[in-house]
Structure 1
Amino acid sequence: MARPSLISLSLCLLVLFHTTLARQQREQVGECNLNNLNALQPDNRIESEAGLIESWDPFHEQFECAGVAIDRKTIEPNGLLLPQYSNAPQLVYVLQGNGLTGTLFSGCPETFQESQGSQQGQGSRRFQDQHQKVHRFRQGDIIALPAGVAHWCYNDGNERAIFVTLYDLSNSANQLDLNPRSFYLAGNPEDHFNPQQSQRHPGTPRGRESERGTSPRRMRPHVQKGTCNNVFCGMDTRFLAEAFNVDEQVAMRLQSQDDRRGPIVRVKESLQIVRPPSIREEEQRQRGGRRYNTENGIEESFCSMRIRENLDDPSRADVFSPEAGRLSSLNSHNLPILRALRLSAERGVLYNEALMVPHWNQNAHSIIYAIRGQARLQVVDHFGQTVFNGELREGQVLTVPQNFAVAKRAEGERFEWVAFKTNDNAMFSPLAGRTSAIRAMPVEVLANAFRVSPEEARRIKFGTQETTLTSPRSKSGRRFDA
């Protein structure tokens, strides 16, 4: 009699283990019990000496579902975003402006070196700077930043530089928690995702969190702001002095305790750094009979991998219709670093009330940022319920969960967007058009599934000849011919 009891106990423990494990896995990636989606504006705003950072509440259920966070940075001319790194991989889209950015990969050589000055006398040799690669960015660029890799950004243009950034908190590269964290190497910045005025103690109920029994891992952290907030603040100045081989007065400057400039500071004069010439400067050099070769034969190695690709160029569009618009995708095939980040992006333009046919994202969440104009979107869940039916306007964000059906139509002459996707090879499946699931079905299957005549089924199947984008103008006067 003891053996059956032991078997029953073992089975109970096994079921309990798997139930607990499944619950922990669901809590880790976030639950997507979304009955209503919303187009969201930024919730927080942190102003700096030379710019501002706006952020969307990362604890909103839409972002928790996707496991992401979003912010928008504005850098004034001659402004410098202080060096920092994050616990999550990032995709940055440049909405406006141009400038320089540096990514600091630990262990990689300082390949940008200042040439030696002339030596016409004793002591005339100037100090030579050297540092890791500097990238020039421009409007339309996507910049990929791995988790834990420090970076900085400088606006050397004549207009504001504006970026929208996605942080993939549920990525396996993030071993901390699902709270976005920026670790600054300088300055005294305020956490723009968790500003001091919005902090609360762990355990305080917050909307649906208490209803869903959210794990403490999902709770907003209680941050107690100190006298300074960069990574050197908590270290003894004697340690810093020894580590950098400087005196303690200089070591104290690393802690930036009296710095009130914020995370974006103004450079007193233009930033003078070692960098390759621009395309125009390069052409001038070649015309002068000199060549400047930046290739080293291992461009896709770890230390010299490409982190940037421009999506605004119409000539690189994957889908194009003169009447409807264009669509460009960026994934790990054309930017290999995305394979490590497990992220991709899509850039779209719709003309003249054109429509992007209903579709679903097979293997990724899609976080859509409206660049300009406005569109009407409809999103439908697996119950066939409309969870969003409204306008998405410039500067707003909408999350479309994986497998939710979505359609978008431009309102007015033009709608532009960028979508961040949580898979490095994100795929979408259209519901209408030449490559759709409906087109792939036999007519008899459609006729019986929808309870229509074979003739009506043929119209459903062959009525739209476009693949992804279609416009009312392209359909006017079209005659169906099966």
Structure 2
Amino acid sequence: MGNRPRQRSMVMGNRSFIILSAEDFRHAESRDPESLDVCLHKVQSMRLHGPQQLLEDHRLEECRLHDHGLQESRRPFTYFRGKGLQLGRPEEILRSDGGYVRRWKSSEILRCTQVDMYETTLEENGLLIPRYIDAPGVAYIHEGSGILGVVYPFGGEFRQKSYVRQVNTGDFISIPDGVVFWLYNNRSEPFKFTCVADTSNAPNPGEPSKPYHLAGGKEQLVGGLLHGFSDDMLSEAFGVDVSITHDIFSRQKDVTITRAGKKFNFPYLEGTHRDGENDVAAEFTFSMHSGKADLIVPDGGWLSFVTRNKLPVLSKVGLSAVRVKLEPRAMIAPLWSPNAHQIIRFLRGDGRVEVASNDGESLLQEDLKENDVIIVPKFYPSTIIAGERGLEFIKILTSDSPTASYFAGGNSVYKAIPAQVVAEALQIPLEEEIYIRQQRRKDEVILPAVRQHEI
């Protein structure tokens, strides 16, 4: 290699960046044209959006680009070939008399898709202490029932609107970042829900979301936010004697979850779901029961979805969900989503998932069982097929209005392309293409099992 000019660098935060000269660009192009594209993208991003956007773009590049020598740790999603798309089992991070929290350990795939995922279980009289979170999130209740409370600012005035409602298995909850909420188990059986937070706009994108508890004790790395203020400051703010604020701090023991001393009573509890546009109490919840399915396929199964069109608050959250139940050996038509990563938790039954990559290789082929979790990145084609026991799962998508395209079924992209074009592309006789085109004409999204004598 010949001598190259000395490169200048700049530091922003804890990141160092090389300032590339014209000769650097020519060198990058000679090594790999894609390297030049990366450089140009950085310069354009800096010009349009400033240093902060450049930092954010850098984080994304680490996840989606091959290592061309300009950075040390870029990770294309093909890097996760094999079990890298699976999250494994969650780890318990907190336990008290009122319940416990399990979190899926932060991993490269979670950082790349910029989501955080955890499961909360509330025992009888368990109370999830009022808090707000630095990232918008959603929750799906997959066991038990309880009470949800939300405090939400309305209009331009400095006012807070509060509501309390019963939520049950199969319900979907959506909470914007910075909005106070709490949950309480008023039944004897455990109350379990899975939560997914979108950290893309959080203070630390790709890292676990951070709750800010309005009450609770103080332990290492976690505690009620009031502990961060002095007694004098709080006594002045609340208009009480310092001895009262000191007494409040001394009484708080549990962190995140506590057990109520006696059962709460809410005589004004709202127990129905969204009935109209003016039902303010339904702004944050949506029922995803089979009775409200959006698609029912005989011998195939059913699905129910919620997007911002059904739950407007999702436009502030940026997420959506699909609940699917497949009959034995039925499958989801192979698909890809151009605008949403898919976080899928399998609730009941068994089956198999396959994910392909753009290089024609398998990214994942894995048998499924209850409580497995996988992440399918946007653009990557995937399919799920149920086993002999059927399969039920919940899918959280990182868009409030996701789209998808399908390879098979009545709405297949192949059927939207002229037959002669498809035949030539696949290098098959036109008659064979037409025969394939005529199959599955009435099946869309959910494909029932095909019996051998029907083929």
Task: Please indicate, yes or no, whether the TM-score normalized by the shorter chain is above 0.5.
Answer: yes
**In structure 1, distance between residues paired with 2:402 and 2:248:** 42
- Counterpart residue number, 2:244: 250
Matched, 1:91 2:138: yes
Partner amino acid, structure 1, of 2:185: N
Check the 8 A contact 1:376/1:389 in 2, yes or no.
yes
Q: Deviations over 1:290-318 (max 9, x none)?
A: xxxx9998446xxx661100112x23222
- Counterpart residue number, 1:150: 180
Partner amino acid, structure 2, of 1:336: P
Residues 1:419 and 1:10: Cα distance change in structure 2 (over 3 Å): same
Residues 1:370 and 1:240: Cα distance change in structure 2 (over 3 Å): same
From 247, 252, 264, the equivalent of 2:257 is: 264
> What percent identity do the matched residue pairs reach?
24
Matched, 1:18 2:18: no
**In structure 2, distance between residues paired with 1:392 and 1:64:** 23
Q: Kindly report the root-mean-square deviation, in angstroms, between the aligned alpha carbons of the 2 structures.
A: 3.0
Check the 8 A contact 2:114/2:205 in 1, yes or no.
no
From 191, 199, 202, the equivalent of 1:161 is: 191
Partner amino acid, structure 1, of 2:256: P
Q: Across the two proteins, how many residue pairs are aligned to each other?
A: 396
Check the 8 A contact 2:215/2:252 in 1, yes or no.
no
- Helix, strand or coil at the partner of 1:133: strand
Shift of 1:455: 1.5
Residues 1:462 and 1:65: Cα distance change in structure 2 (over 3 Å): farther
Matched, 1:464 2:440: yes
- Counterpart residue number, 2:214: 185
**In structure 1, distance between residues paired with 2:212 and 2:199:** 15
Q: Following superposition of structure 1 onto structure 2, how do residues 312-461 of structure 1 map, counting pairs within 5 Å?
A: 312=289, 314-461=290-437
Partner amino acid, structure 2, of 1:419: K
- Counterpart residue number, 2:118: 71
- Counterpart residue number, 2:71: none
**In structure 2, distance between residues paired with 1:417 and 1:341:** 21
- Counterpart residue number, 1:138: 168
Check the 8 A contact 2:172/2:285 in 1, yes or no.
yes
Moved more, 34-43 or 72-81: 34-43
Partner amino acid, structure 1, of 2:109: Q
Partner amino acid, structure 2, of 1:310: S
Check the 8 A contact 2:223/2:255 in 1, yes or no.
no
Shift of 1:454: 1.0
- Counterpart residue number, 1:31: 63
Q: Deviations over 1:348-375 (max 9, x none)?
A: 0111121111111121000001111222
Moved more, 412-421 or 177-186: 177-186
- Counterpart residue number, 2:9: none
Moved more, 380-389 or 67-76: 380-389
- Helix, strand or coil at the partner of 1:326: strand
Shift of 1:17: 3.1
| Greater per-residue strand proportion | 2
Check the 8 A contact 1:184/1:230 in 2, yes or no.
yes
Shift of 1:19: 6.9
Q: Following superposition of structure 1 onto structure 2, how do residues 102-121 of structure 1 map, counting pairs within 5 Å?
A: 102-106=149-153
- Helix, strand or coil at the partner of 2:138: strand
TM-score normalised by length of structure 2: 0.80
**In structure 2, distance between residues paired with 1:296 and 1:478:** 45
Moved more, 415-424 or 27-36: 27-36
**In structure 1, distance between residues paired with 2:247 and 2:128:** 18
Shift of 1:253: 4.2
For structure 2, the residue ranges without an aligned partner over 5 or more in a row are 1-19, 26-38, 65-75
Check the 8 A contact 2:350/2:389 in 1, yes or no.
no
Q: Deviations over 1:319-378 (max 9, x none)?
A: 211211111111011111111211110000111121111111121000001111222000
- Helix, strand or coil at the partner of 2:264: coil
Residues 1:274 and 1:107: Cα distance change in structure 2 (over 3 Å): farther
Check the 8 A contact 1:378/1:408 in 2, yes or no.
yes
**In structure 2, distance between residues paired with 1:416 and 1:476:** 25
Partner amino acid, structure 2, of 1:349: K
Moved more, 17-26 or 342-351: 17-26
Residues 1:460 and 1:296: Cα distance change in structure 2 (over 3 Å): closer
Residues 1:475 and 1:81: Cα distance change in structure 2 (over 3 Å): same
Shift of 1:449: 0.5
**In structure 2, distance between residues paired with 1:405 and 1:297:** 36
Check the 8 A contact 1:49/1:262 in 2, yes or no.
no
Partner amino acid, structure 2, of 1:247: D
Residues 1:269 and 1:25: Cα distance change in structure 2 (over 3 Å): closer
* Higher relative contact order, chain-length normalized (CA < 8 Å, sep 6+): 1
Q: Deviations over 1:381-426 (max 9, x none)?
A: 1112211100232112100000100011112222110011011111
Check the 8 A contact 1:392/1:398 in 2, yes or no.
no
Residues 1:111 and 1:268: Cα distance change in structure 2 (over 3 Å): farther
**In structure 2, distance between residues paired with 1:409 and 1:74:** 29
Residues 1:452 and 1:306: Cα distance change in structure 2 (over 3 Å): same
Residues 1:188 and 1:462: Cα distance change in structure 2 (over 3 Å): farther
- Helix, strand or coil at the partner of 1:88: coil
